[in-house]
Structure 1
Amino acid sequence: MSSASATLAVWASAWLAGTAAPDDVLDALAPWSEAHDVLAADDGTAALTDLPGPGTTPTSTTLLLAAVRRAAPRGSARVVLPAPGDVRGLPGPGPFSREATTAGEGVLFPDAGLGVVPSPIADGVVRWTVHAVPDSGPVPEYVALNEAERDLRGQVRNAAAALSYMGVARHRPGVREEIAAALRGRPRALWPDGMPPQALRVLQQADEVDAILSAANGDAPGGALSASAAVARSDALRPIASAVRVARRAAVAEAVRVLVSVPRT
């Protein structure tokens, strides 16, 4: 499942490296929404990219790809998955960082000086808002996939313990089925040939832990948490959510590294 931003970061990087076609990128985005459109965040970005600006008719993701390629023909992308209090990977204060934090995701094209943030604007429509990001900030700290996977496995145990501690399973006997159904109902991400198997495994594990988090965040039917219990739950789940974000970023970064290093045919 991962996220629409992870999908765009991986596929756009493969396309820029010459190992995927533009239509491959568009097809990969399809599970996330029936339609995708693109709009520049402001008039300055519109002039810079030749994309439509505020108050005009949105364009397609095809023209977004064209704008990225004009700016950086051999660049790549990186996913950002910020949350309040966790701004790792963001370029610094500004509209892109603010919108990405609100959405919980975004894509930076550091070489192109652009960042995009997806958001649903109507049933079946996702809009990618394009921002000029002239300074993408420092290169994010490298996290080895082995390390991310090991931490994520540890957090699976922590998540199970947290569910037990907070009585989720006791108050909701069907919680395991609920988690499985949530996983089945999520979009099935498409990935390029040559995607590193370990990266795929870590993304799948992250999705599973994320589904557990969603279950743990749900109140028992007919009841509400006290303020102190809500704080305790938030404290217990925060490091687990952080591990999920770290694992997803590490998996996408490794996939991008591998895919852009493949020789052009």
Structure 2
Amino acid sequence: MSCASATLAVWASAWLAGVAAPDDVLDALAPWSEAHDVLAADDETATLTALPGPGTAPTSTTMLLAAVRRATPRGQARLVLPAPGDVRGLPGPGRFSREATTAGEGVLFPDAGFGVVPGPIADGVVRWSVHAVPDPGPVPECVALGEAERELRGQVRNAAAVLTDLGVARHRPGVREEIAAALRRRPRALWPDGMPPQVLRVLQQADEVDAILSAAAGDEPGGALSASAAEARSDALRPIATAVRQARRAAVAEAVRVLVSVPRS
């Protein structure tokens, strides 16, 4: 789904460009959790960012924004959505890359020299772990938004076909209602004014396809599907999941590009 990292990447970039206020960033993160806190992942990062490190009390996302501002008065944030076998956008081996891959998301602040990875630590609390990233690597080649949208639309058709071929609807007759309910339960992301309509459309489509993926992955081996059928299902759904990540990265990159180019008053 549209994730907390996508929200932070878009709003933090808008804030750094002077077209959003710090409170706007904090308000946009609120739908993802009742509370957010911040902690440097190690002593090196704590020294780099002046944020609390291991063994100390965490701080707030306000202090995270202050650390970003100290490190880079302008700059942009970069969304990463890695998965095993798909590490596009990661800076290379290191703790940030490992943690982001485990979480499936993260935000790089290339000009600031660090990245953050969100994860739940308690009911209603998300912690943003901050990692030093001295070499963020080159800006990854980004698929054009139009191309990503076409690929995603094709995968919508594929997803429907896969659900039918794998008999998910037969095993779980209420699967369509389940998908609709899952979409209603998801946090409604808040976006800055000036977000391009195509970006919003692609993000919504990605959420819809992701809900289909979750439904299609709902039967575990030993349940309605055999182990071999479950493996075939995973193989069939993998390219759809890749298209969802690609579409979200492209949409966020385009949103950032447009927002940071808005003239400041």
The TM-score range, normalised by the shorter chain, is over 0.9
In structure 2, C-alpha distance between the alignment counterparts of 1:93 and 1:158, rounded to whole Å: 33
Aligned partner of 2:13 in structure 1 is 13
SS in 1 for 2:129: strand
Q: Distance in 2 between matches of 1:144 and 1:49?
A: 34
Shift of 1:142: 2.0
User: 2 CA distance for matches of 1:60 and 1:37?
Assistant: 5
Q: How far is 1:226 from its partner? A: 2.2
1:127-206 matched pairs, under 5 angstroms: 127-206=127-206
Counting matched residue pairs gives: 265
Where does residue 125 of structure 2 map in the other structure? 125
Q: What displacement does 1:225 show?
A: 2.6
**Unaligned 5+ runs, structure 2:** none
Unaligned runs of 5+ residues in structure 1 are none
Cα distance in structure 1, aligned partners of 2:114 and 2:264: 25
The aligned residue for residue 102 of structure 2 is 102
> 2:171–2:224: 8 Å Cα contact kept in structure 1?
no
8 Å CA contact 1:89, 1:139 repeated in 2: yes
* Partner Cα separation in structure 2 for residue 27 and residue 84 of structure 1: 32
Contact 1:172 1:220 (8 Å CA) reproduced: no
SS at 1:131's partner residue?
Answer: strand
Deviation at 1:223, TM superposition (A): 2.5
**Greater mean alpha carbon deviation, residues 224-233 or residues 79-88:** 224-233
* CA distance in 1 between partners of 2:12 and 2:34 (Å): 19
Distance 1:109 1:222 in 2: 43
Query: Match of 1:68?
Result: 68
Q: CA RMSD in A?
A: 1.2
Specify the SS of the correspondent of 1:2: coil
1:171–1:220 contact (8 Å) kept in structure 2: no
- Contact 1:152–1:244 at 8 Å: present in 2 too? yes
Moved more, 51-60 or 218-227: 218-227
TM-score, L = length of structure 2: 0.98
Letter in 1 for 2:134: P
When structure 1 is superposed on structure 2, of 132-141 and 242-251 the one drifting more is 132-141
1:247 is paired with a residue of what secondary structure?
A: helix
Tell me how far 1:224 sits from its aligned partner.
4.2
Task: Tell me the TM-score normalized by structure 1.
Answer: 0.98
Distance 2:10 2:107 in 1: 10
SS in 2 for 1:194: coil
Q: Distance in 1 between matches of 2:37 and 2:220?
A: 38
Q: Which runs of 4+ in 1 moved over 4 A?
A: none
Aligned residue type for 1:118:
P
Amino acid at match of 1:114: F
* C-alpha separation in 1, matches of 2:221 and 2:49: 50
Amino acid at match of 1:64: L
Task: Please tell me the residue identity of whatever aligns with 2:199.
Answer: A
- Structure 1 CA distance, aligned partners of 2:157 and 2:143? 21
Identity of aligned residues (%): 89
